Amino acid sequence: MSVTRDSFHSKLGFILAAAGSAIGLGNVWGFPTQAANNGGGAFVFVYLIVTVLLAIPALYAEVYLGNQAQKNPVAALQQACADVSSNLGKWAGLFGLLGAVLMLSFYSIVAGWMLSHALAPIMELVGFQSLASWLAESSTARNLAFTPVFILLSALIINRGVHQGIERWSSRLMPVLFLLLLGLIAYILQQPGASEGVAMYLTPNFEQVKDPQLIISAMGQAFFSLSIGVGGMMVYGSYLKKDANLGKLVLSIGALDTLIAFLAGLLIIPTLFVAQHMGQEVFRDGQLIGGPQLIFATLPALFESMGQIGIYVSLVFFSLMSMAALTSTISSTEVPVAYLVEDKGYSRTRATLLVSIIVLSASMTLVFNFDPLFSMVINWVNSFQLPIMGLFYFIVVGWMYKRGNQLADKQLLQQKPWLKFWANYLRFVCPLLLSVVFINVISNS
Ligand code: PHE
């Protein structure tokens, strides 16, 4: 059976979609809070190093595997591992698919919070005060309403396919996101107190650079931020023509993702100092307040204290968060959908429906067992699933994948010394470096 696969129609479309997957809550929320709590500039410095040395190579390996196979992640890994054991490849692919569903289960809940916070100022503007307060306050009822809305939004885009859905919507949302971010930064940096935040953000405290915990946090953050390990980047790579210059494309994605994370830090950390200037508590036990409290209490309180303009700032900020989240969830949703369509013969609509129902059930399980499960699933995905899959990609590309693997093609490597260096780097250095960090993660947890 031969089915014509949908694909990206331009390289720019691919870059925007993949950057859309990478740029998400991890950048706009995770990165600034981690930076704030891990020595400001020191974290930024270590983050840049692990991104270049490990995360971008892992992203390359993931995109490369998809691109070579031109198949969904389960089939792609199965093919790449065929010489060793195609069962291993298949199970690894399914494990990645599980990661995509787990990622969606918590991410859709948080994305729902962003959406409801984006609607709150609109309701306030049109005079529905009590609805606005309900939207801005966390409750199970709100989760029950907004998580499904978010899953539905992703489903509507995915159902339209790669070009009409993913490429088109990423190309629309990403430039808007960028402009909103720049606009917010320009506004916040003019507020009293902001310069102190800029200084803290940009001055590395080199004492902390050697802290193993900091390196581990930076690596987890870099892998999550570049969406490595659940197959989203692999499936996007598979929709790109085989002759594409992957090195350049992957570097652009890494650069865009890092730029947005950096800019988000330039927004959030000075914002915290502006809030402090206005009398809010932003430090606790010497640490900047992070996590949900930062986004859903400290920032809204600051917006409120700005008066009328604060309503608009809040609307822009949470719309930005919602868009960032949406372009990330669509890439994870595409992973199981592509598998069901290509390997199980489902129609795209049926596959999207089934995947959405599974994600919704998983999300609802988290909503109803929030305290024991929510952070547990996030930790599992971040500290275990993503790095172990990254390690697996290196081992596949470097050691298992023989037939059809350009990086193992002796003749080709003889002709291109640069490719040979790259292949050896992926084969020896990356798995070793990643294992060292990974063993540290396990022994520290
Ligand atoms: N990279 C996304 C972010 O930074 C999260 C993500 C992880 C998306 C894994 C897809 C797959 O928020």
- Which helix H or strand E contains 89, and what residues bound it? helix 86-125
pLDDT at position 1 over 50: no
Please tell me the distance from the alpha carbon of residue 20 to that of residue 168, in angstroms, as a whole number.
Answer: 11
Residues in the ligand 1 pocket, defined by CB under 6 Å: 21-22, 24-27, 103, 224-225, 227, 230, 232, 328, 331-332
Taking the centre of ligand 1 as the mean of its atom positions, its distance from the CA of residue 223, in whole angstroms, is 8
- Token pair for residue 167? 């490429």
Taking the centre of ligand 1 as the mean of its atom positions, its distance from the CA of residue 411, in whole angstroms, is 37
Sign of CA dihedral 273, 206, 25, 217: negative
Tens-place pLDDT, residues 49-93: 999 999 999 999 999 999 999 999 999 999 999 999 989 999 999
Tens-place pLDDT, residues 273-312: 999 998 888 888 777 777 788 888 888 888 888 889 999 9
CA-226 nearest atom, ligand 1: 1
Identify which of 150, 224, 359, 382 to mutate to test ligand 1's pocket (most ligand atoms within 8 A of the CB): 224
The answer to whether the CB of 354 falls within 8 A of the CB of 126 is no
Give the residue among 76, 82, 70, 69 at the shortest CA–CA distance from 96.
76
Residue nearest ligand 1's atom 6 by CA: 227
- Token pair for residue 412? 């080709």
Taking the centre of ligand 1 as the mean of its atom positions, its distance from the CA of residue 144, in whole angstroms, is 23
Q: Please state, rounded to an integer, the average pLDDT across all residues of the chain.
A: 93
Work out the burial of residue 111: count CB atoms within 10 Å of its CB; fewer than 13 is exposed, 13-18 middle, 19 or more buried.
buried
Identify which of 107, 173, 383 to mutate to test ligand 1's pocket (most ligand atoms within 8 A of the CB): 107
- Which helix H or strand E contains 289, and what residues bound it? none
Q: Count Cβ atoms below 10 Å from residue 149 Cβ, excluding itself.
A: 14
Sign of CA dihedral 187, 192, 197, 198: positive
Please tell me the distance from the alpha carbon of residue 46 to that of residue 38, in angstroms, as a whole number.
Answer: 10
Q: How confident is residue 243, by pLDDT bands cut at 50, 70 and 90?
A: confident
Give the residue among 377, 354, 355 at the shortest CA–CA distance from 366.
377
| Predicted local confidence at residue 97, as pLDDT | 97
Backbone angles phi, psi at 226, to 5 degrees: -90, 10
Residue nearest ligand 1's atom 9 by CA: 227
Q: Count Cβ atoms below 10 Å from residue 249 Cβ, excluding itself.
A: 20
CA distances from 232 to 62, 123, 204, 240, 371 (A): 9, 35, 33, 13, 28
Q: How confident is residue 24, by pLDDT bands cut at 50, 70 and 90?
A: very high
The answer to whether the CB of 407 falls within 8 A of the CB of 419 is yes
Taking the centre of ligand 1 as the mean of its atom positions, its distance from the CA of residue 243, in whole angstroms, is 26
Give the residue among 76, 84, 145, 156 at the shortest CA–CA distance from 113.
145
The residue-averaged pLDDT of 261-279 equals: 92
The residue-averaged pLDDT of 235-240 equals: 98
Taking the centre of ligand 1 as the mean of its atom positions, its distance from the CA of residue 23, in whole angstroms, is 7
pLDDT at position 260 over 60: yes
Output the 3-class SS for 231-249: CHHHHHHHCCCCCCCHHHH
Taking the centre of ligand 1 as the mean of its atom positions, its distance from the CA of residue 21, in whole angstroms, is 6
The alpha carbon of residue 428 and the mean position of all alpha carbons in its chain are separated, in whole angstroms, by: 26
Q: How confident is residue 113, by pLDDT bands cut at 50, 70 and 90?
A: very high
| Predicted local confidence at residue 384, as pLDDT | 87
Which residues in 20-37 are b (16+ Cβ under 10 Å) and which e? bbbbbbbbbbbbbbbbbb
**Which ranges in 226-298 belong to alpha helices (H)?**
232-238, 246-277, 291-293
Identify which of 227, 295, 393 to mutate to test ligand 1's pocket (most ligand atoms within 8 A of the CB): 227
DSSP 70: T
- Contacts of residue 194, defined as CB under 8 A and 6 or more positions apart, other chains included, come to 188, 270, 271, 273, 274
Q: Which of 26-40, 148-162, 431-445 has the highest mean pLDDT?
A: 148-162
Taking the centre of ligand 1 as the mean of its atom positions, its distance from the CA of residue 227, in whole angstroms, is 4
